[in-house]
Amino acid sequence: MRTLKALARPQVSQFRFALELTTVVAIKAALLYWAWSAWFSHPLAPHMRMSPALVQQQILGAPAANFASAPFAASDLSSGENHDSRR
Amino acid sequence: MIPAADVVELSRLQFGLTAMFHFLFVPLTLGLSWILVICESVYVMTGQQVYKDMTRFWGKLFGINFAMGITTGITLEFQFGTNWAYYSHYVGDIFGVPLAIEGMMAFFLESTFVGLFFFGWDRLSRKQHLLVTFLVALGSNLSALWILIANGWMQNPVGADFNYVTMRMELTSIGQVFFNPVAQAKFVHTVAAGYVAASMFVLGVSSWYLLKARDTGFAIRSFAVAAGFGLASVCSVIVLGDESGYTAGEVQKVKLAAIEAEWDTAPAPAPFTAIGIPNQKEQRTDYAIKIPYVLGLISTRSVDQQVTGIKDLRLEHEARIRHGMTAYAALLKLQAGDTSPAVKAQFEAAKKDLGFALLLKKYTPNVLDASETQIKAAAGDTIPQVLPLFLSFRLMVGLGFLFLFIFSASFYFLARRNLAPQRWLLRLIVWSIPLPWVAIETGWFVAEYGRQPWTISGILPTRLSASALDASQLHFSMFGLLAIYSALFVIEMFLMLKYIRIGPAALHTGRYFGETTNDTSALPAQTAASH
């Protein structure tokens, strides 16, 4: 009986340790997801990219007067994803 | 809209605190993984069970730290898109590759092999398991490499060019980004600092066991591994820190001058201010104790090169602001549709100083109409606060030399088989466990605070990098993240202390303190130390 108990102990210990870590990781993932959805789920620069017009406004003060004519069309500015294709 | 100063400061504070919390976990993962490799290698070579037990026990502590630390850095990436949108856009083309590789490394390589490390003992051969442990260490360290490449680029933006169409920096040479000398020096210095932290952790816990005269056979071997690895690592940290300082002196002269409170350009070789109280208002260092020649020798590695002082650098930056204004004027024309070769040439000739002109945005929306007073004020902003940098750097260096003493003394007494009577040393080591983290955090403070007023050195001012968020929103998110991270830290401390108190008995092998009264591991420290 004593031998059986001794044999079972490492497995129980390993299981307990894994359970503790899994619980902590699960709680952490839930908290981080909550933090993301509460404060960071609407980034101004999704995928590290935003409209060059907004950047231009920040850097130069305001979009250039004839921004719509050159060097790219104003209609493209609503989405930052397409600008590289113009290069 | 350029955000208000308090919003920028709050965004900085939030990012800084999150990064510092994240970096409480990282060094132990970096260093402990290699200590596991060393212990397991000895086990594979000698077949001695105690080394397997060491690998498994320190592996448990590694596992706790890994589980608590992994993904804590993800909130930094959340902040990029939300709090630092303009910065994010500016660097996106450069950071995309290293951050993606880091993500792959962390989630696939590291996590997979950490799982195999814990659950593979009975399923893999000794050599296969050692390979897994090695890959855990390699994966952890390579993850750090990609992040530090990204950070190194912020300090020294090479291999990229500003595109006025997309209004962002674009990659021109991935090789230059990867082999950026600042990034390489930063990587080796940072990981070596992690090795020191992990060595001090193992050394400290082992010392505690020795002081308590428990598990001494296990503790003395762990102590030996940590002392050897720690001594090699702390020597590396000092040498590589010197290299890191040298590269900073090459490309971030202001940071070096601020760290050294070098107000005036002294004749070569410049003296090193060991102690003093920098006075930013009067631009002098009060009560300075200077050591002749040392700064010149360290920072230029020569006897005839000057170290430019803060006052001269400020004048240099005034000139760069004026030069940058011509780039700004050309950029306005380009954006207005005038893409003539003359305008392009004007922009190309001056665009390396565009960032300096952007510093004027703090004082005037019309950069081209900036007054002399505004130009001088903007040049003044290029000098970070000297006192915090001066003190933090000296604290970091002082701690580095304390670690050198501790590891040297540990190694010496261990080699002389005379460790057990040195209870003062064992106590000092136990109390020194948190100190590597203090040194590492102050090191990061020096690196990042010294980069101000830039997010990308010389390219993008911090003020223009931040999103115009509501201050209350930032308060909420900052206190929320602080609460989450504090809770994680408390849980980590609880689990660590729990398993440290249990000791190797946590492995339930029946050989350790608290499990049996008849084993050599419970011999008094003196006996085990002389084995």
In tens, the pLDDT along B308-361 reads 899 999 999 999 999 999 999 999 999 888 888 999 999 999 999 999 999 999
Q: Are residues A70 and A47 in the same domain?
A: yes
Q: Are residues A48 and A59 in the same domain?
A: yes
The answer to whether residue B520 is domain-embedded is no
Query: From CA A47, how far away is CA B340, in angstroms rounded?
Result: 33
Q: Calculate the average pLDDT of chain B.
A: 89
Q: Are residues B118 and B177 in the same domain?
A: yes
Tens-place pLDDT, residues A40-77 = 888 888 888 888 888 888 888 754 443 333 333 333 33
- DSSP, collapsed to helix, strand or coil, labels residue B466 as coil
Which residues in chain B have their CB less than 8 angstroms from residue A47's CB?
A: 81, 92
Residue type, B374: Q
Select from A6, A35, A45 the Cβ nearest to the Cβ of B88. Answer: A45
Q: Are residues B378 and B389 in the same domain?
A: no
**Quick one: pLDDT at residue A6?**
52
Q: What ipTM was estimated for this complex? A: 0.81
Spatial contact of B237 and B196, defined as CB atoms under 8 Å apart: yes
**Quick one: pLDDT at residue B522?**
43
Handedness of CA B13, B19, B25, B28 (dihedral sign): negative
Query: From CA B364, how far away is CA B369, in angstroms rounded?
Result: 8
The residue among B366, B383, B400 that closes a domain is B383
Handedness of CA B76, B77, B80, B81 (dihedral sign): negative
Q: Are residues A55 and A65 in the same domain?
A: yes
Mean pLDDT along residues B416-442:
95
Query: From CA B42, how far away is CA B36, in angstroms rounded?
Result: 10
**Quick one: pLDDT at residue B1?**
63
Best residue in B163, B333, B508 to probe A by mutation, most A CBs within 10 Å?
A: B508
When pLDDT is cut at 50, 70 and 90, the band that residue B132 belongs to is very high
The answer to whether residue B41 is domain-embedded is yes
Q: Are residues B235 and B92 in the same domain?
A: yes
Q: Are residues B376 and B395 in the same domain?
A: no
Which residues in chain A have their CB less than 8 angstroms from residue B495's CB?
A: 20, 24
**Quick one: pLDDT at residue A83?**
33
The residue among B383, B415, B432 that closes a domain is B383
Q: Are residues A60 and A86 in the same domain?
A: yes
Q: Are residues A35 and A51 in the same domain?
A: no
Which residues in chain B have their CB less than 8 angstroms from residue A32's CB?
A: 71, 74-75, 484
Q: Are residues B68 and B179 in the same domain?
A: yes
Q: Are residues B379 and B464 in the same domain?
A: no
The answer to whether residue B206 is domain-embedded is yes
- Chain A residue closest to B100 (CA)? A47
Mean pLDDT along residues B63-86:
86
Which residues in chain A have their CB less than 8 angstroms from residue B168's CB?
A: 52, 55
- Chain B residue closest to A8 (CA)? B508
Least Cα distance to B521 among B507, B504, B506 occurs for B504
Q: Are residues A1 and A26 in the same domain?
A: yes
Tens-place pLDDT, residues B31-68 = 999 999 999 999 999 999 999 999 999 999 999 998 88
Alpha helical stretches, state H, B278-385: 294-300, 310-335, 341-350, 354-358, 372-381
Q: Are residues B363 and B395 in the same domain?
A: no
Tens-place pLDDT, residues B483-523 = 998 988 898 899 999 999 999 988 888 888 887 654 444 44
Q: Are residues A51 and A83 in the same domain?
A: yes
The answer to whether residue B515 is domain-embedded is no
The residue among B357, B383, B409 that closes a domain is B383
Show the domain range for B361.
263-383
Q: Are residues A49 and A29 in the same domain?
A: no
CB contact under 8 A, B491 and A46: no
CB contact under 8 A, B477 and A39: yes
The answer to whether residue B516 is domain-embedded is no
Q: Are residues A53 and A67 in the same domain?
A: yes
Show the domain range for A63.
43-87
Give the CA distances from residue A78 to residues A75, A86, B81, in Å, rounded to whole numbers and listed in that order: 7, 15, 17
The answer to whether residue B257 is domain-embedded is no
Tens-place pLDDT, residues B272-284 = 899 999 999 999 9
Select from A17, A31, A47 the Cβ nearest to the Cβ of B484. Answer: A31
Side-chain half-sphere CA neighbours of B355 within 13 A: 24
**Quick one: pLDDT at residue A1?**
47
Which residues in chain A have their CB less than 8 angstroms from residue B476's CB?
A: 38-39
Please count the structural domains in chain A: 2
Q: Are residues B199 and B85 in the same domain?
A: yes
Q: Are residues B220 and B273 in the same domain?
A: no
Please count the structural domains in chain B: 2
**DSSP characters over B192-207:** HHHHHHHHHHHHHHHH
When pLDDT is cut at 50, 70 and 90, the band that residue B405 belongs to is very high
The answer to whether residue B525 is domain-embedded is no
Mean pLDDT along residues B442-449:
94
The answer to whether residue B140 is domain-embedded is yes
